[in-house]
Amino acid sequence: TTAAALERFTVNFTITTLPYSADLENPDSARFRATRRVMNMLLDRLLKESSIGPVFRGCETTDFRDGPGSDRDQTRVDAVCTYSKEPWAAPLDRVGLYHQVSNSTRGITQLGPYSLHKDSLYVNG
């Protein structure tokens, strides 16, 4: 058997209850590392429960940015997620996955202890 190819997709959203600060720009800072670890765990838990759960491999938060319009009360999160493209699995349905994530986050309002900007979720784009 041939190993399935790993495919990537992006997930982006804005947290309204995580004030942005300069140490979130620095991947070596304790705050960046701790926040990335929490985001990765929350995204992994969320996507393992979705329709791609059987082929989902994990998410890695890549970047934190200040909120829309330089709103430092909010933090934008960028993550790259990976799944294995198995021959038996349906192709990634970005729209369907977006709706599942929306439903699992109470209409894009809550991810774990964080509040989300309801219009900020993007899956692969």
Could you report the average pLDDT of every consecutive run of 10 residues in the chain (125 residues)?
Answer: 80 95 94 97 96 95 85 91 91 93 95 95 85
What integer pLDDT is reported at residue 70 of this predicted model? 64
Cut 0.85: pTM above it: yes
Q: What is the pLDDT of residue 62?
A: 97
Domains and CATH numbers, the chain: 5-124 (3.30.70.960)
The predicted structure's pLDDT at residue 4? 72
* CB within 8 Å of 106: residues ≥ 6 apart: none
Supply the pLDDT for residue 14: 95
